[in-house]
């Protein structure tokens, strides 16, 4: 069986002032042949887990008819 690596993707994050250096552990992934290396920004990064969350959608959906809805839960 012949196999061929078609796509290898790494996502990195550089801090301000930090320079990109081609990591040594990537080198074994490259072999003989033609390669195209593309660098592009991530347009929709993962949300920051430490960022405060916005709960306004829930609060805006709460109406007067919902009053007492969760009273049976106690607390």
pLDDT tens sequence across 8-60: 777 888 899 999 888 788 777 778 888 888 888 877 766 667 777 777 777 77
pLDDT value of residue 3: 66
Alpha-helical regions (H) of 1-75: 56-61
Q: Which residues contact 8 (CB under 8 A, 6 or more apart)?
A: 29
Q: What is the model's pLDDT at position 11?
A: 82
Residue 10 near residue 26 (C-beta atoms within 8 A): yes
C-alpha to C-alpha distance for 67 and 75, rounded to whole angstroms: 15
CA-based nearest residue to 48, from 13, 4, 74:
13
């Amino acid at each position: 069986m012949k196999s061929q690596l078609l796509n290898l993707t790494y996502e990195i994050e550089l801090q301000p002032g930090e320079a990109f250096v081609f990591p040594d552990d990537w080198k074994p992934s490259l072999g003989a042949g033609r390669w195209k290396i593309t660098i592009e920004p991530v347009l929709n990064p993962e949300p920051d887990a430490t960022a405060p969350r916005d709960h306004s959608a829930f609060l805006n959906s709460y109406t007067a008819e919902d009053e007492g809805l969760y009273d049976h839960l106690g607390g």
